[in-house]
Amino acid sequence: MMNANLMEKIVSLAKRRGFIFPGSEIYGGLAGTYDYGPLGVLLQHNIKEIWWQSFIDSRDDMYSLDAAILMNPKAWEASGHVTGFADPTADGKMFNTMFKTSVGAGEEANITYFRPETAGGIFLNFKNVVDSMHPRLPFGIGQIGKAFRNEIAPRDFIFRLRELKQMEVEYFVRPNEWGKAFEEWRNLMHQYARTIGLPKDSIHELEIGDGERAHYSKRTIDFEFDFPFGRRELWGLAYRGDFDLSAHASASSVDLSYLDEETGERFIPHVIEPSLGVDRTILAILVSAYREDEMNGEARTYLALAPKVAPIKAMVSPLLKNKPELVAKAKEIRKELQKIHPHIAWDDNGNIGKRYRRQDEIGTPFCITIDFDTLGPSNSSGQANLKDTITLRHRDTGVQERLTVPEVISRIRSAFA
């Protein structure tokens, strides 16, 4: 899989099949920007939904947030981003990678920044969440949102972008309990990787040493992935100590301490931060799922996506599109399957083999074909036992099973459970 042409093939497939398009392409593009097409939106949605279920909804100690992209610039001064969020340029000078903008008009306009990370909004809303929800430690605040970084040299498709999406949690703990929470979130990140179909042997932990960590971090593990262009950071897990809440409390003169009602102790909680980039996750999934093989004497490209991740869950097709009775039955069965999941495709264009190839290339786990045997003996060879049965084809193997509609529904339901 680690061949020189793999990235080119993935980029080509992503555009050709409606996953990811170059940003502003008709005007020559804009480096570091990409647009998600119809299938890319569905793939992205599934990745975020699985993250939300795993990191937020399945836990009783998590609260959700959707913070503003624009914030008071004093927040970025307090967090250290104004002075510390910089990369060196070719001539050795440091370049701050935050995007500047202005709020207001004319001479009264104030300079602010597009947020370079979603974490900032979480820390600014710590007191609001505590005052409104009265959580007990440990608890977390999670959100999914866009972040912006004026990268000097964006590259490697959607790996390094100027406009990106993050799935982040800030998990607040008592100072002496950070180690336990760190391990808990570390394990949960590995579990999430398995759920979305990333191979275990493609993910590696890298302990970031002193002097190499971000200014706020007391311990950081990078989850690295074997991309075609080398082993690079996929996600991060950081122990931020009490840096953020203490810095914002000092700069704003607002008390951001936590009162433990059981002990009467008041203190600044420490923070564990699992941070996962949506775009890098999508790239890792595409790299992991890309396959080339031969089936029935023909070369085939397919995406071996985990069923939960696949943008289209199944395709329903009448064997022949010019036979009204087959079309009607196929539409009836598709309607039944859409009660399980809305993203059940319809395809009656070309021969059945070409339909299978199209669905394989976008990672659809199942293809369902309705033929004359489905309608019963009066329309076929008289094999009454095949009436009301349909063909279920499996993407990875090409194996086809003859099943009843309830059996197919059960198979599909269990694949996405």
Q: Which two tokens stand for residue 111?
A: 């300079």
Find the mean pLDDT for residues 62-91: 89
Distance of CA 269 to CAs 11, 120, 214, 260, Å? 44, 16, 19, 10
pTM > 0.85: yes or no: yes
pLDDT, position 1: 41
pLDDT recorded at residue 4: 62
Sign of CA dihedral 69, 73, 75, 80: positive
pLDDT at 307: 95
What class, spelled out in words, does domain 312-415 have in CATH? alpha beta
Under the banding of pLDDT at 50, 70 and 90, the label for residue 262 is: confident
pLDDT of residue 2: 45
Nearest to 128 by CA among 65, 42, 191: 65
Distance CA 114, CA 97 (A): 10
- CA–CA gap between residue 348 and residue 369 (Å, rounded): 10
Query: pLDDT digit string (tens) for 106-131?
Result: 766 789 999 999 999 999 999 999 99
Q: What distance in Å separates the CA atoms of residue 40 and residue 223, rounded to the nearest whole number?
A: 24
DSSP string, 286-309: HHHHEEEEEETTEEEEEE---TTT
Residue 124 is predicted with a pLDDT of 97
Eight-state DSSP code of residue 70: B
User: How many CB atoms within 10 Å of residue 85?
Assistant: 21
| Tens-digit pLDDT profile for residues 285-340 | 999 999 999 998 889 999 999 999 999 999 999 999 889 999 999 999 999 999 99
For the chain, the structural domain boundaries read 6-286, 312-415
155-164: pLDDT as tens digits: 899 999 999 9
CA distance 177 to 270: 9
6-286 folds as BirA Bifunctional Protein; domain 2 (3.30.930)
For residues 185-206, give the mean pLDDT: 97
Buried b / exposed e over 378-397, threshold 16 CB at 10 Å, is: eeeeeeeebeebbbbbebee
Around Cβ 2, how many Cβ atoms within 10 Å?
11
